[in-house]
Structure 1
Amino acid sequence: MKGGKGMKKLFLPLVLVGILLATLLVSQSSTGSSLRVAYVDIEKATENYQKWKDLNEKYKRDYSFYQNKLKEMEDELKKMQEEGRPQEEIQAKQKEILTKKTEYENLLKSEYQPKIQEIMNEVVKKIQEYASVMGYDLVLTNQVVVYGNPAFDITEQVIAYINQQ
C-alpha cells in the first residue's frame, strides 16, 4: 500500500505539469504562434559550472583536512590501546573522536550549505536568463520530462552560457 501513496504523490505534480502544458499549447495554437519548449539537465549544468567546481575542490581540501585530524586522533587511540592504558582513558578518547567527528561535520555543513544553495540559485537564474535571451517560453528540468527529444535538450548550451563570464 505504501507504493500506492508514493505514486499518488508523484502523479499529482505530473498531472499539473500536463495540464499546464496542454493549456499553454492550446493558448499558443489559438494565437497562431508556436510554443518554444526545452529541457535542461540541471544537475549536469550545476556540476559543470566553474563556481561549483571551485567550491567542490575547496570542500574536498577542507574535508581531507578534517579527516587527517581524525586520523591523528585514531592513531593516538591505537597507541593508547597498544600501551594498555586504562579503559576509562580509552573510552574518553573514543568519545572525544566521536565529538570531533560531529563537530567537523557540522562545521562543513554550516560553511558549505549556504554556498551550495547560492550556486544552485545562480544556475537557475542563469538558465532563466538564457531562456529569455533565446526566446524560450518554457524550460523544464529533465527530472520532470518523461520523454524528451534530444533536439530539445539545451543542457550543453546552458553550460556554455553559465561559464562564459
Structure 2
Amino acid sequence: KAYRLQLWCEAPNCQHPVSEAGKGVYEFEAPREWIEQIAPYANLIARVLKTLTPIAAPAANAFFGEELMKQSKIQYQLEAMKELTNSILSNEQLLVNEPARLGDGLLTQPERSGILALHSFLREKDPHHEFLGLKRHPTYTGDYLWLCDTHYQQSQSKIPSF
C-alpha cells in the first residue's frame, strides 16, 4: 500500500507543514509490519497535532500567508491518520492518556520504537537531507527542534558587524 509522509516545522507556537516546493514530503510503499511499528508514535502525533493545529494555524497563516494551512488539508490528513492507527492498534494502545508524561517529554516504549523506525526510514530514504526541508536547531535545554529554513534563519543569533 502507498503512503505519504508530510514533515512539519517545530517552530514554537507556529508549527506548520514544510511548505518549500519539493521538500518535506515522502511518498513510499511499506509493509504492514513497518506501519504497525510506527503506529503508536503516529497515534501520539495525530493527538498532539489535533490539539496544536487550532492554536498554531493563525500564527502559521500570518507568517506564511492565509492559504498554508488550507492547502495542507490538515484535518483530512489527521482523520486519515486516525483511521489508519485505529485499524492497527489495540484498544489499550489507543487509550494511552498520560498528559503528565508528555509534559516531561517521555515516550512509551512502542512510541519510542515508532520514532526510531521513522528516523531510520528517513536516513535510508534521504541520507543527505536533500528533501527534508528542515534543519536541526539546538535548544537551551539540549534538545533539538526541526525548523523550516524561514524559522531557522529567524532563530540564528545576529552577530553585529563593525
* Interval containing the TM-score (normalised by the shorter chain): under 0.3
Q: TM-score, normalised by structure 1?
A: 0.26
Q: TM-score, normalised by structure 2?
A: 0.27
Which structure's residues are more often helix, by fraction? Answer: 1
Rg bigger for which structure?
Answer: 1
